[in-house]
A = this chain, B = another copy of it.
Amino acid sequence: MKAKAVFHIDWEREETLVMALNNIANLLKAVPAEETSVFLLANGSAVKLFLLKRAFQYASNIQGLSEMGVRFLVCSNSLENFGIAREELVESCEAIPAGVLELIRLQTEGYAYIKP
């Protein structure tokens, strides 16, 4: 059975994103990537952390995890709220309609919820 988890961040705190990225990296060290299904979901002001101009310090980190299959979901409600266009974000991000609904959907499908 796959190790399935969704990591949730919602505040604009870099140290929390870094914690989440470290958590995911540790998970992928403990379990082969193909036996995992991992999402990092950002809503609220946390979406700002994925702005290209902000994310340069950890962009390669995000890119590397993305290449291992980790998916980065960003809430469109929150993007709209802060007047941010999808194009302003790092490339690996996927905009989704409602972050909260996705958190519910994933947990209903058996994903563990982890809030760093």
Contacts and interface: CB of A to CB of B under 8 A. Distances in A.
Identical chains bound together, number: 3
Contact of A3 (B10, B97, B101, B112): B101
Contacts of A23: 43-44, 100
Contact-residue bracket for chain A: 35 or more
Contacts of A8: 114-115
Contact of A110 (B22, B43, B108): B108
Interface of A: 1, 3-5, 8, 10, 19, 22-24, 26-27, 29-31, 43-44, 75, 77, 97-101, 103-105, 107-108, 110, 112-116
Given A1-B108, A4-B108, A100-B114, 7 more contacts: A5-B103, A10-B19, A19-B44, A24-B100, A27-B98, A30-B98, A113-B114
21 contacts: A1-B108, A3-B101, A4-B108, A5-B104, A10-B19, A23-B43, A26-B75, A27-B98, A27-B104, A29-B77, A29-B98, A30-B97, A30-B98, A30-B100, A30-B101, A104-B114, A107-B113, A108-B112, A112-B113, A113-B113, A113-B114
